[in-house]
Every structure is written in C-alpha cells, then in structure tokens.
A and B are shown apart, each in its own frame.
Chain A
C-alpha cells in the first residue's frame, strides 16, 4: 500500500521516459547492452518483488523460472524454432507451470521451510540442466540467433533495448494495477495477517499460488529476454541459486513492495558490480560486504529513505 506522492511519481515517470528515449536514440552498443541487462534483471527483480513485497514470501528459487525461460528459448532455437510469437509463450508457460507445481508444494509451509524448499527445487533444475543431453551440460550452449517477433529480427541492439524496456514498463504497469485491484488487496491482506484474512473468507493459499505462478511467468519472460541478449546459456549463468539470492538483494536495495523499486535496485546492483569489477576480479567479495552492511545498517530500502527526504 506504499505510494509516493503524486509529484514524485510523475517525476520518476518523466526521468525514466527521458532516460529510455535518450538511450534508445543516442546510446552506443555497450550502453545499450548494459541498459538491456538492467531492464531484463529489473524484470526478474519485479517478479521476485511480486512474491516478496506483495505476498510476503521469500523465494530463493526464482532462478529456476528465469533459467527455464532461457533454456526453453535456447532449446527451441537449437531445434530451429526462432519465431518469438510461438517460442516465447511456450517458454513463459513452462516457467509458470514449474512455479505452479513448486508453489503448490512449497506454499503448504511457511517461513524458513518455504525459503529452503524453493532453494532446493531450483537446485533440482540446476542439476537437471547439467544432465540433459544436447544442452552442453555444465558448459551450456550458444544460441544460433535471436528470436524474431512476427518475422522481424531483433538483432539491432537499439530495437532490442526498446523492446526490453517496453516489456518491463508494460509488466510494471500491469502488476501495479493488479496490486490495487481485488487480487492485490486480498494478497496483501494475506501477507499482513493471514489469520484475519482467512476469517474474512480470503483463500490465502490459492492467492499465493496464483501470485507465485504469475511471478514465475514474469521471471521466465526475463529469462527469455536474457537468452536473446547474450545468446549463451549455461546452468551457472541462468540457474544458479546465487542468481536467486542476487534478485532478492536487488529488491531490497530498492524497496520491497513498490515494484519499480525492484528496477531501481537492479540498476544499482548491476552498476555496482560493473564498477567494482573494473578494479578487481574479486568483485563478489565487495558485493557481499555491501550486502552485509546494507542489512546491518539500513532497516528500510533506499526508496523509503528517499521518500522520507521528499515528504519531510
């Protein structure tokens, strides 16, 4: 239920639109690639925020859905199918189905159990991908080409970036809209007090399962885009549980429960990694220190601090 004042929201929209437009028009290859990565990881972080911020569930298994989206896209590409309008729904649908099954089991528990179960199931996919023949095992494989959308190729980095940004914005708007609708209210009520919500007739389990499946679909979509961006998939890059944890970090860096905060968090995280890795190979250690510091020192997200500054 957190909303920034209207003026701030309009400001964010203007800045974001300007940034996207500027990048699309003037960005060079590297910038466009980096911006596309931010959009894609932002999308995956939004998926995690749907589950974390709105359903109140900590999932350490979203890499499974991201990776499934990527692998299905890649596998179909290897078989010669590159038409996005066909491949992408299949990939996203697979991720959503996986989320439905995992969620059905995991949501019967709560708290720590839920966290561990999502982690373990994601690992199952990780080890599975290592072993499925024809997909390169631990080394993964290269995609022959990007998908086409309705026959139109996506090789142009400018076009790809605009598409990624567009998808991100569309998902954000839709998800935000849903959060203020009956589904969003009931889900957040279940998060705030599931005993009270049950006593009012709210079907907590069904709502959470639906949210988890939708979240899996969004993460799968991010995986589809990621496969198209890098044209390379391996278990360690798209199915690693470190990725799941990093998505949680991104959501927290922004602010859980605002959806666009997840995108901000993703941008901050990726920028941080980019900068640190210029100086040292051991950027992961510094990220770890930053995460520990962030958890110990700041109780709320960055955007909450910003909001306080703005409204004070």
Chain B
C-alpha cells in the first residue's frame, strides 16, 4: 500500500455565500493520472485552485507528500513540486517559446536575483528549457514570440513551462479544451508519455481522453464528490450516469 502523494480531507470553499467546494476528500497516488470530471459549475477548477494555491480553502486540509500545504503560498507549493496549467493557457507573451520554460527552470530556486549572466547562457537553464519544449513537441517553435503562437501551441508551451519546474504533481485544467481533432490526438499521446512520471490531476470534459488515459476518475457535482474509482467502475456507476454522463446524452 503506497502512501498517497496528495490527500485532501474535507476541503470546503465558500465564495461569496456559495459553497463551491463541499467536503472534498480525494487521494492521488504517485505517478497516477487522476481525472476529475463533472458538469459545469461542479467546482472542478476551484478544487484545482485550492490544490495549486491560487485559492485557500475555507475549511479542510490538503497534504502533499506528508506536508500540510493548505495555506502555503503558490510559489512555495511550486517549489515543493506542485505544477499546474490553466484553463486558458497562460504564457509569457513577450518571451519567445523557448524562454517560457526557462522561467519555469528559474523558478525552482527561491531567489532569482542573478544580475549578470544572461539566462540563455546559463547552460543548465537553456538546455532544460529546450528539453521541456522537446518533451511536449514544440521545439521547432522555440524562437517564435509566445503571443503569436496558436492556441494549441500555447497550451503545449505552458505544459513545457510547468514541466520545467520538475513537478511531482501536475495539475492540468482542461488540457484538451479548444483543440482540434489532430491536436487532441497529439495531446492524448503526449499525456500518455507523461504517465508514470509526475502524478497528474486532470480536469477534463473530453470523455474519450479521460477514459483512455485515467487511472482513477473522481466525479464532482455541486461541489461534492459523488464517485471516485477506476474508470470502468465510474462509467457504469448509475448515480454518475444520471447526474453527468446521462445529462450528456440528452444534450
């Protein structure tokens, strides 16, 4: 029995009178791909935000690798090994594609006060940045200005930036969103290659991807966990079908 890499217990978040997260307790094992699914408004991104540190829970605890990170700053969590990407891909617009993951490398140290050596000449930084870009498959776009990249490429660059931080837990917020068919296939393939490395918590709506990639699936509705387990079990769970998958069929 391995210990969970991430464990949330009774996480609640109240936003302006609305209980967006209601007693969420999940576990993420090292190296697994854990998908979080549920209808819109279920509180999936809010949960991700609380694990990543962008939001602090109103109640409950979040323990990462034995460390209580419930109120820890975003930056401290990042250095502890929690990386993430966002629903709308965030890139450093004025930087080149290659310089984006370079920032991810720089952020691993708490102090970025080097004033003299150009980053491009910091050997480990430059090579790790390029490696991250290669890992996601956009090394050919390395010199392009980030703000000029297509949506799909931006998403890949952001993943590279997150990977450059050498995370042990990677939070992905709808990595498939806005991708065309070919790009989706590329992304699925990429995620498959990433499995076994860092644990991945993935919020997704693309059910094909979820059921082909996930080791564990957690279903959220109205801020509560209504089911959690292996993909095949979730797929056949009657409660899940009626509140989420069933709703999809009607749509």
6 A-B pairs besides A196-B158, A197-B92 with CB distance below 8 A are A1-B95, A186-B112, A195-B90, A201-B107, A201-B108, A202-B107
What residues on A are CB-neighbors of B74 within 8 Å? 198-199
Q: Contact between A181 and B114 (Cβ–Cβ < 8 Å)?
A: yes
B106 within 8 A of A: yes
**CB-nearest residue of chain B to A186:** B112
Given contacts A198-B78, A202-B106, contact A192 B52 (CB under 8 A): no
- CA gap between A207 and B106 in the complex, in Å: 13
**Cβ-defined contact, B103 with A197, below 8 A:** yes
Q: Tell which of B29-37, B79-87, B198-206 binds the partner.
A: B79-87
B119 touches which of A2, A174, A180, A203 (Cβ 8 Å): A180
- Provide the bound-state CA to CA distance between A193 and B161, in Å: 13
User: Is A182 touching B114 in the complex (CB atoms < 8 A)?
Assistant: yes
Query: Known: A2-B94, A195-B86, A199-B74. Contact between A183 and B112, CB under 8 A?
Result: yes
Determine if B117 is an interface residue (Cβ-Cβ < 8 Å).
Answer: yes
Asked if A181 contacts B116 (CB within 8 A), the reply is yes
Contact B83 A181 (CB under 8 A): no
Docked-complex contact A202 and B75, CB < 8 angstroms: yes
| A85 lies within 8 A of chain B by Cβ | no
Q: Nearest residue in A to B92 (C-beta to C-beta)?
A: A192
B165 within 8 A of partner (CB): yes
Q: In terms of DSSP, what is the predominant structure of the interface of chain A?
A: helix
Smallest CB separation, B145 vs chain A (Å):
8
Which residues of chain A (164-187) have a CB below 8 Å from chain B? 174, 177-178, 180-186
In this complex, how many residues of chain A approach chain B with their Cβ under 8 Å: the count is 27
Q: Is A188 interfacial (CB-CB < 8 Å)?
A: yes
Chain B interface size band reads: 35 or more
A201 CB contact (under 8 Å) in B79, B90, B102, B158: B79
Is the beta-carbon distance between A1 and B94 smaller than 8 angstroms? yes
With A192-B92, A199-B84, A202-B107 as contacts: A182 and B122 at CB distance below 8 Å: yes
- Closest CB-CB distance, B224 to chain A, in whole Å? 26
The closest CB in chain A to the CB of B73 belongs to A198
A200 is an interface residue with CB less than 8 A from chain B: yes
Report if B187 contacts A (CB, 8 A): no
The 4 lowest CB-CB distance pairs between A and B, nearest first, are A201-B107, A182-B114, A201-B78, A196-B90
> B111-169: which have CB < 8 Å to A?
111-120, 122, 145, 158, 161-162, 164-165
Partner of B113, one of A1, A182, A192, A199: A182
CA A252 to CA B42, docked complex, whole Å: 46
Residues of B within 8 A of A207 (CB): 112
Closest to B113 in A: A183
Residues of A within 8 A of B113 (CB): 182-183, 210
Q: Which of B18-45 contact A (CB under 8 A)?
A: none
A202 / chain B contacts, CB cutoff of 8 Å? 75, 103, 106-107, 112
Pair A193/B108 contact, Cβ less than 8 Å = no
Closest to A200 in B: B107
A189 contacts chain B at the CB level, 8 A cutoff: yes
Contact partners of A178 in chain B: CB under 8 A: 115-116
Contact B91 A196 (CB under 8 A): yes
Assess whether A181 is in contact with B115, with CB atoms less than 8 Å apart.
Answer: yes
Alpha-carbon distance between A193 and B94 when the two chains are bound, in angstroms = 10
One of B78, B93, B107, B118 near A180 (C-beta < 8 A) = B118
- B104 interface hit (Cβ, 8 Å): yes
Which residues of A have CB within 8 Å of B104? Answer: 200-201
A199 touches B119 (CB 8 A): no
Query: Are A186 and B106 interface neighbours, CB within 8 A?
Result: yes
Given A193-B92, A193-B93, A196-B90, CB of A185 within 8 Å of CB of B106: yes
CA A14 to CA B225, docked complex, whole Å: 67
In Å, the complex CA distance between A184 and B122 comes to: 14
Question: Which residue in B96, B107, B116, B122 is a CB contact (below 8 Å) of A1?
Answer: B96
Distance in angstroms from B152 CB to nearest chain A CB is: 17
Task: Judge if B215 is at the interface, Cβ distance under 8 Å.
Answer: no
Tell me the nearest residue of chain B to A201, going by C-beta.
B107
Identify which of B78, B107, B115 contacts A183 (C-beta below 8 A).
B115
Which residues of chain B are near A210, meaning CB under 8 Å?
A: 113
Residues of B within 8 A of A185 (CB): 95, 99, 102-103, 106, 112, 119
User: Most chain-A CB neighbours within 10 Å: which of B83, B95, B103, B116?
Assistant: B103
Annotate B55-78 by CB proximity to A: 1 below 8 A, 0 otherwise.
Answer: 000000000000000000011001
**Chain A contacts of B120 at CB under 8 A?**
180
Say how far A256's CB is from chain B's closest CB, in angstroms.
Answer: 11
Contact status B114-A203, CB under 8 Å:
no
Q: Does B242 contact A (CB under 8 A)?
A: no
Please name all residues of chain B whose beta carbon is closer than 8 Å to the beta carbon of A180 when the two chains form the complex.
118-120
A199 touches B92 (CB 8 A): no
User: Can you offer 24 A-B residue contacts whose CB atoms are under 8 A?
Assistant: A178-B115, A181-B118, A182-B106, A182-B114, A183-B112, A184-B119, A185-B102, A185-B103, A189-B95, A189-B103, A192-B92, A192-B93, A192-B95, A196-B91, A198-B78, A199-B78, A199-B83, A199-B84, A200-B106, A200-B162, A200-B164, A201-B78, A201-B165, A207-B112
